[in-house]
């Protein structure tokens, strides 16, 4: 491959850095363009058409997102998905850079940088981008790209583990999947309830029809009927056209109602009526529409306790509880921790171009001793971060961000330990700061749903 190939756009507000890169980068790229701020980024992307954007994380702009680098990473990937973004960051912003990679950035470089490392990362990003764009070049990147494509396909596969608890669940799935039995999946945050629901649908006789997933707890009360049952044109102010609700969208397929325990009591009667009658009436309409669905529900709440407290309808509970699958927390199936960690390591090593192949004994021991209140989701996040930051070929205990009290966030936020409002506010504030204000990422760290986090943010004025 030619030593000078491709085009790179540098966005950095430091004139000294721009001048240094204007000397270094032309030795490796055919064309180099530098701009001092994202103000002209959009036009530069359109006119210069770079393969790679080297993007500083912070600028003095009017973008009020908590971090400009994360914002512009998202904008670049939306406008030009095949252009690779490499983030330029100070050491203190590494956590934000890691979040940037989760949002699509190729890699990040810490200032002050090592020239060889910088060029290695930038040319790797260039080669990947040019292949994706169909721009010709020769080199060893073809094999690596093929591996990456395989890694993306492998994410579709599911590892359930070898524990007795999971073996029992899988045996039950084999029996019930081909039927239309209604299924209730319970388990703590991060145990994989949504993954299990998709597995049931995939093994069912409805697998070639749609599976419609709904976060029931995220639907506002005013839109509940419209979202689930649909509406007719003119039913309310913003009803400019007829709209099919989730029940109709899932017709002949599967409807997955997640966080069903969060539905207010007075709306549960309307849901029960639709399930019992297997028909709905759109808001503002009069026509009864039959529905043919397979229903799967999930919750991290104790519905039996809610029934006893009068907060969940007993008749609805029995209606959705034909088959009950209780996913065990990770701490109760420790034999699955190391295999899961290895699976995540291999997946993220390919995704982030890291040479990691295995887990050292000290790291494996630390993983086994973890509390994992966030369960599989927390384990995946820990391994992902470790892979991104590791410099070796084997994951060690030093690479793992599992300190004293690890997992406390999930327990506190889920109400599994005694705590006060100050503890909770601190955890919420810390998660928001670590993710640059990203609600989804912060919710994952805390092991709660987005609606729950919204409520906490409102509660503490954050």
284 burial (CB, 10 Å; 0-12 / 13-18 / 19+) is middle
In angstroms, the CA 121 to CA 10 distance is 14
CA nearest neighbour of 38 among 65, 11, 70: 11
What b/e sequence results for 118-140 when a residue is b if at least 16 CB atoms lie within 10 Å of its CB, and e otherwise?
bbebbbbbbbbbbbeeeeeeeee
Q: Does residue 414 surpass a pLDDT of 80?
A: no
pLDDT digits 0-9 by tens, 95-154: 888 888 888 999 999 888 989 899 999 999 998 888 887 654 333 333 333 323 333 333
8 with 25: CB under 8 angstroms?
yes
Which pLDDT score, from 0 to 100, does residue 301 have?
Answer: 93
In angstroms, the CA 304 to CA 258 distance is 17
As beta bridge partners, residue 185 has 298, 325
CA nearest neighbour of 250 among 283, 285, 204, 218: 204
Judged by average pLDDT, the poorest of 96-105, 356-365, 416-425 is 416-425
Q: Quick one: how far is CA 240 from the chain centroid?
A: 33
- Cis before 112 (ω within 30): yes
Q: Quick one: how far is CA 144 from the chain centroid?
A: 25
Q: Does residue 392 surpass a pLDDT of 70?
A: yes
- Between the two ends of the chain, the Cα-to-Cα distance in Å is 51
429 burial (CB, 10 Å; 0-12 / 13-18 / 19+) is middle
* Report for 28-42, 96-110, 272-286: range of highest mean pLDDT: 272-286
| Structure confidence at residue 60 as a pLDDT band (50, 70, 90) | low
In angstroms, the CA 393 to CA 356 distance is 4
Domains and CATH numbers, the chain: 7-153 (3.40.50.2300), 164-326 (3.40.50.300), 331-459 (1.10.8.60)
Judged by average pLDDT, the poorest of 45-59, 231-245, 433-447 is 433-447
Bridging pattern class, strands 107-111 and 288-290: unpaired
Q: Tell me 10's DSSP state.
A: E
Q: Tell me 28's DSSP state.
A: T
Q: Which of helix, strand or coil describes residue 341? A: helix
Bridging pattern class, strands 183-186 and 294-299: parallel
Q: Quick one: how far is CA 183 from the chain centroid?
A: 24
Q: What is the mean pLDDT of residues 354-375?
A: 91
Q: What is the mean pLDDT of residues 454-461?
A: 80
Residue with tokens 């060889």: 116
Which two three-digit tokens encode residue 97?
Answer: 């850079």
Which run of H or E residues covers position 184?
strand 183-186
Is pTM, for the whole model, over 0.75? no
Which residues, in sequence order, are CB contacts of 281 under 8 Å at separation 6+? 229, 287, 288, 289
Which pLDDT score, from 0 to 100, does residue 150 have?
Answer: 32
| Structure confidence at residue 275 as a pLDDT band (50, 70, 90) | very high
């Amino acid at each position: 491959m030619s030593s000078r190939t491709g085009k790179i756009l540098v966005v950095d507000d430091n004139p000294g850095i721009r001048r240094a890169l204007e000397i270094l980068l032309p030795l490796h790229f055919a064309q180099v363009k530098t701009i001092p701020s994202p103000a002209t980024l959009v036009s530069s992307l359109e006119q210069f058409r770079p393969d790679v954007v080297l993007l500083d994380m912070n600028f003095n702009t009017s973008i009020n997102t908590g971090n400009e680098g994360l914002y512009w990473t998202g904008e670049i990937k939306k406008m030009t998905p095949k252009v690779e973004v490499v983030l330029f960051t100070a050491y203190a912003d590494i956590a934000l850079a890691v979040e940037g990679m989760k949002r699509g950035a190729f890699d990040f470089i810490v200032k002050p940088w090592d020239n060889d490392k910088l060029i290695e990362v930038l040319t790797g990003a260039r080669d990947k981008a040019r292949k994706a764009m169909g721009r010709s070049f020769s080199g060893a990147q073809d094999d690596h790209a093929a591996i990456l494509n395989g890694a993306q396909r492998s994410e579709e596969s599911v590892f359930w583990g070898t524990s007795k608890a999971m073996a029992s669940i899988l045996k039950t799935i084999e029996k019930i999947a081909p039927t239309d039995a209604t299924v209730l999946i319970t388990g703590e945050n991060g145990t994989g309830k949504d993954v299990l629901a998709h597995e049931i649908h995939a093994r069912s006789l409805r697998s070639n029809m749609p599976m419609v997933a709904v976060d029931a707890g995220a639907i506002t009360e005013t839109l509940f009927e419209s979202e689930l049952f649909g509406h007719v044109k003119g039913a309310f102010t913003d009803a400019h056209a007829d709209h099919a609700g989730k029940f109709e969208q899932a017709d002949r397929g599967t409807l997955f109602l997640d966080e069903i325990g969060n539905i207010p009591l007075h709306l549960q009667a309307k849901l029960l009526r639709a399930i019992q009658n297997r028909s709905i009436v759109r808001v503002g309409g009069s026509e009864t529409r039959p529905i043919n669905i397979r229903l799967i529900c999930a919750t991290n709440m104790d519905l039996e306790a809610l029934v006893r407290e009068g907060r969940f309808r007993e008749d609805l509970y029995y209606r959705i509880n034909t088959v009950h699958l209780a996913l065990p927390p990770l701490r109760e199936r420790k034999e699955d921790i190391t295999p899961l960690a290895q699976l995540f390591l291999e997946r993220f090593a390919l995704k982030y171009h890291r040479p990691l192949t295995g887990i050292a004994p000290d790291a494996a021991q630390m993983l086994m001793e973890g509390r994992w209140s966030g369960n599989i989701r927390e384990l995946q996040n820990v391994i992902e971060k470790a892979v991104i930051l590791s410099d070796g070929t084997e994951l060690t205990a030093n690479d793992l961000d599992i300190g004293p009290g690890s997992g406390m966030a999930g327990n506190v936020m889920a109400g599994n330990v005694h705590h006060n409002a100050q503890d909770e506010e601190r955890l919420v504030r810390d998660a928001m700061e670590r993710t640059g204000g990203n609600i989804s990422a912060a919710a994952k760290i805390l092991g709660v749903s987005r609606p729950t986090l919204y409520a906490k943010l409102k509660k503490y004025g954050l």
